[in-house]
Amino acid sequence: MNDFSLYVARDSGLHKLHPLTKGIYVLFVLVAGFTLPGPWTSYFVVAFGILPLAAWGKVLGIHLRSVWRVTWPFALSVLLIQGLFWGHGEDLVSLGPLALKKEGVAFAFISIGRILLVMSSFILFSLTTRPDMLMISLKQAGFPGSIAYIFVTTLQIIPRFQSRAQTVLDAQRSRGLETEGNLLVRSRALVPLVVPLVLGSLVDVEERAIAIEARAFNSNHKETSVVEIPDSLLQKRIRAVLTAGAALLVVAGFAWRLLS
């Protein structure tokens, strides 16, 4: 894993798959998790559609830790907000004037499952797919260079943001800024940390825009690459089946909701 990518090099069958095959599979599991009926569908898809692939790719431990770090703040906030402010319903636990509602907690767990599905699928894709190989494969598939660049850099937002935040934190600490202690001390350190982080992110956006122009992504000429990613007929057929399956799931989901 490097500063600007979640990719972890492993000698596994999942890593050797074509990037588009993994991308289409991520799309398929997301569609399945959001369209299939049932409150626990997202958890089922994660357990049987994501975690076995993480184990196959030899990144299960890293995958679980990464998903936990990203997901738990959202999960906790959704649980508290939906559980405490659901309105009318059966009380599960009373906390003074507030109470966790059974219906709110049930809805929160459904929402958490969907958040978990999105995070786990994209993190697995990022852990097992090199960004440069993904960009090349997208361009070879006919995507415009600018679109491929934006898509790849979107996957790098989290590691880039984390790296920049750590750099700002180390720089401010070297200047004598206190970042550890009670709540008041940490609150005072918030502005000196956030302002450089936000300004640095704005500068990064400008640099990316310049990079798009410098790499001639807006040119009408066909680009060439010294790297050719092998793509087997079997994987092409698998991608076609997954794409068709995702489309059928969307149609079936709409039909089920209309008839129910």
User: Mind listing the pLDDT tens digit for each residue in 125-156?
Assistant: 989 998 888 888 887 887 776 677 776 766 66
Mean pLDDT in residue range 77-93: 78
| Selected residue with higher pLDDT from 204 and 90 | 90
pTM of the complete model: 0.76
- Residue located via tokens 């993994």: 22
Q: How many CB atoms lie within 10 A of CB 22?
A: 23
Of 135, 155, 153, 154, nearest to 145 (Cα)? Answer: 135
Q: How far is CA 118 from CA 34, 67, 192, in A?
A: 10, 10, 32
> CA-CA distance, 146 to 35, in Å (whole number)?
31
